[in-house]
Amino acid sequence: MGDILDKTERTLRLRNYSPRTRQAYLLYIRKYIIFSKKAGLKSKQKAIEDFLLDKYNRKQSPQTINLALNAVKFLYAEVLKDPQKIDLKFAKRSKKLPVVLSHTEIEKIIAATENSKYRLMITLGYACGLRVSEVVALRAGDLDINELVVHIKGAKGKKDRISVLPKRLQNDLRNSIAGKNANDFVFGSNRGGKLTTTSLQKMFRQSLAKTGIKKPVTFHSLRHSFATHLLESGTDVRYVQELLGHTNIRTTQIYTQVTNPKLKNIKSPLE
């Protein structure tokens, strides 16, 4: 198995897959090999089906099952060069609406964050619609503070995009990058280098707990809130799509269901 995993990692690196994707693919390929050997399965089709069904029976999410299937497909097609197509469809994903915070709730979370560096990072996550990984990866040269623009480089799918900066943060951002070179991280760790996403997520959860907000939100909910609030203010969905970096506009249109003003104007028949 070691040789297969080494070859898989080499292939993933040559294809320029992100570290996170490489880690996930290697994890599921390792699990697949162990599962199929333990079950003594010789048929590739049955081995994959049973592997995925086992995940379904363990009540794992459709997203997890699809990621496992993608990993196994990569193994056979790109590493083992197996010409036989894997005839399996992806698991149907649950259609959950994103959980959105109100303006007041976001201000409460920001106010509850005592550490000034983390407070600015949380504020930027909402103000620019950034993923947690994008906030910690920001470099001084990515910010055009005078023009109120941030350049997000090498984001999900290896795509660059532009987003907006709020005027309210100009002074804080100038102070954060004062004396730094263009390639220095805006929010470096105390030990040098980049902060971990785990540390920022942990701080967000701590600030959230102080507010008493009961919604099941994460740092990513700030990005959901950014998109929803822009649509509520009348921003065209196509511009929101560009700011979020969505390839397909249908991904962005999910937020129109959260912010549908016609639905919000309907009153319950209970007086």
Segments making up each domain of the chain, as ranges: 2-79, 103-262
Spot the catalytic one: 156, 161, 180, 194: 156
- Measured in degrees and rounded to the nearest 5, phi and psi for residue 216 equal -80, 75
Is the dihedral angle over the CA atoms 189, 195, 196, 202 positive or is it negative? positive
Has 56 been annotated as catalytic?
no
Has 220 been annotated as catalytic?
yes
What is the pLDDT at residue 63? 86
User: Residue 25: which residues within 8 A CB-CB, separation 6 or more?
Assistant: 8, 12, 17, 70, 71, 74
Q: What is the pLDDT of residues 162-186, one digit of tens each?
A: 999 999 999 999 999 999 999 999 9
What is the pLDDT at residue 155? 77
Has 255 been annotated as catalytic?
yes
SS3 154: strand
Spot the catalytic one: 117, 119, 223, 224: 223
Q: What is the pLDDT of residues 14-30, one digit of tens each?
A: 988 888 899 999 999 99
What is the pLDDT at residue 154? 81
Parts of the chain with a pLDDT under 70: 91-94, 260-264, 271
CATH number of 2-79: 1.10.150.130
With beta carbons less than 8 A apart as the criterion, state whether 76 and 200 touch.
no
Has 103 been annotated as catalytic?
no
Spot the catalytic one: 30, 73, 161, 220: 220
Spot the catalytic one: 55, 131, 224, 229: 131
What is the pLDDT at residue 96? 78
CATH number of 103-262: 1.10.443.10
Spot the catalytic one: 25, 28, 118, 255: 255
> How many whole angstroms separate alpha carbon 94 and alpha carbon 223?
20
Has 131 been annotated as catalytic?
yes
Has 223 been annotated as catalytic?
yes
* Rg for the chain, CA atoms, rounded: 22
